[in-house]
Amino acid sequence: MTTALDEIVANFELLDEWDDRYRYLIELGKSLEPLSEEAHNDANKVRGCASQVWLESRREGGPGPQARLHFLGDSDAHIVRGLVALALAIFSGRQASEIAATDAFAIYERLGLAAHLTPQRSNGVRSMIDRIKSDARAAAGA
C-alpha cells in the first residue's frame, strides 16, 4: 500500500461510528486535486455511476507494464468524491502491472465500505475501478 492509503486505512480504523467514517470520506473528497473544467468531458465520464464521476488518466513512461499512471478525478456528490479520492489513493502513481494486480475490492471490504454502500454506489465504485483497470491495460499495451 502507498503511504496515503496506509494513512486512510489507519484513520478509518480509528473511527468507530459510520457517521464519522462518512464524514471522513467527505473530507477526503475535499482534498482531491481539482480537475480542470476541460477534463469534465464525455471521454472522462465514468459510465455506470448514479452520480457524475470523471476520471482523467495520464501515462508516464512506456507503453508497457511498467508505464506509471496518474489519475485525477471528480464527482458531483460529496461521498462519491471521497470514494474517488480513495480509488486514487489505491491506484494513482502505480505501474500498469501493479494496477492490474491490485484487488481494490478487498481494500473497500477491509474498510467496511462494501457493507455500508448502497447497491447503486457499489456499482459506481465497480465502474470506477473497471475504468482505472481498463486505462492500465491500455497503457500496458494489453
How far is residue 117's CA from residue 94's CA, in Å, rounded to a whole number? 26
Told to judge if 142 belongs to the known catalytic residues of this protein, a careful annotator would answer no
Instruction: Give yes or no for a contact between 68 and 59, defined as CB atoms under 8 angstroms apart.
Output: yes
Which is the catalytic residue, given 25, 28, 46, 49?
49
Give the distance, in angstroms, between the CA of residue 60 and the centroid of all CA atoms in the same chain: 18
SS3 state at 131: helix
Phi, psi of 77 (to 5 degrees): -120, 135
For every residue of 78-101, DSSP letters joined together read HHHHHHHHHHHHHHTTEEHHHHHH
Catalytic residues: 49
